[in-house]
Amino acid sequence: MDSIFISEKHGAHKVFMSRFGDALFVPSREDKKKIEVALKLQKTTLEIVSRENSAWIAKRLRRVIPAAEDLLPVVKR
């Protein structure tokens, strides 16, 4: 397997690692739907809670690795 090395001193290191992680680990659709239903009962939305308390969302939303055929176009972008 190939590995990607970017020096931590490089100016784009943090941005690259963040975006690369976002491309590889996609939020679970089922968890997202469950969270949206729970938040609707509290009369708020996922967008509002994400802005105000992203740690709460991160704790409850699993991230999955999609199938290779779904992942390839995202990584190539």
Asked if the model's pLDDT at residue 48 lies above 70, the reply is yes
Asked if the model's pLDDT at residue 49 lies above 60, the reply is yes
Span 58-62, average pLDDT: 90
Asked if the model's pLDDT at residue 52 lies above 80, the reply is yes
Q: Distance of CA 73 to CAs 23, 38, 47, Å?
A: 10, 32, 26
Q: What is the pLDDT of residue 24?
A: 82
* 63 three-state secondary structure: strand
Enumerate the domain spans of the chain. 13-76
- Express each pLDDT in 3-45 by its tens digit: 778 888 999 999 988 888 887 888 999 999 999 999 999 999 9
Q: What is the pLDDT of residue 36?
A: 94
